[in-house]
Homo-oligomer: A and B are copies of this chain.
């Protein structure tokens, strides 16, 4: 249905890229992986067996550690994705052995950041819903404060006598989410440090070290063209997009994302799954483009905006689940539960807004392509 990216299918677009390019790409990613790992060890993050919660050094080295973890995830995802898309060009046993290990690694490393980002998203939303100024950086303390809002008016609600009750609810909801998500984040941090100190991780790192010097291609791979495999990845993406309810998503305020909004199931909504599948396929397509065109070619802006919309979809979906989950905490006050209900619905509308944004990017993509 959707028109293909022209320069993956058009054979006149340049020289034929073969398995040699894939090998070069994988070597580059493996090198970046090893560099990030070294950086992480230098900041003390690797000393995991002692006290997993504490990281050595000051705030600067903590920042370096965060960057290092992000770079590790980044190259792990790219290696894993390329092994998947260009599977026929790689020694099957080696390739099938390392892929689940890379997925385990990037999944484990992603959680700490995800919990932190989810908390920040929810606290910012609570501020917005309370009409208070969003103050990122010190989110917890500002809920219900009398700081001036974006229009310069003082946030009079907390002080006004008649508006006190449910704004207390917002503050309590924020404190509850802060407790729950900070705990989850701390646990994820420990788990990540333990993972990076584990024998399982050392085995992955050893395999990536081999990859940095010698990519286990099949004998015919160096002369095999990459474009058909990249085009197949793009087709899988296009098929998955075709299955999305894009007509609904393109009509604003369809209220589809909030159906089952009162379900007590804390898991993300089943209706979100196909969108998340497209998010993953879009990522694979993007990595395949990197392999075929080289990383110096700037990525397609429309592809990036579609991907950002799907990231926002995932973030809002998970944030809405966290609000619903927090509302199931025993013995919370009704005002807290009310605020969490408003917050949940707000994030479900963010989900709907992200679908709308994706639909717009995608239509531009397929209609506007030269």
A interface residue numbers (CB < 8 A to B): 126, 128-131, 157, 160, 162-167, 169-170, 252-253, 255, 258-265, 324, 327-328, 332-346, 349-350, 352-353, 356
Contacts and interface: CB of A to CB of B under 8 A. Distances in A.
Given A252-B356, A340-B341, A341-B345, A157 B263 contact: yes
* A-B interface, 7 closest residue pairs, ranked by CB to CB distance from nearest: A341-B341, A345-B345, A253-B353, A252-B252, A334-B337, A166-B264, A338-B341
Given A258-B129, A337-B341, A339-B341, A263 B349 contact: no
Contact of A260 (B129, B260, B341, B345): B129
A259 B342 CA distance: 11
A265 B162 contact: yes
Task: Indicate how many identical chains form the complex.
Answer: 2
B131 A259 contact: yes
Given A128-B255, A341-B343, A344-B345, 14 more contacts: A126-B262, A129-B261, A129-B262, A131-B262, A157-B260, A157-B263, A162-B265, A253-B352, A253-B353, A253-B356, A255-B349, A258-B342, A332-B334, A345-B349
Q: Secondary structure of the A side of the interface?
A: helix
A164 B356 contact: no
Nearest to A336: B334
Contact of A328 (B165, B167, B346): B165
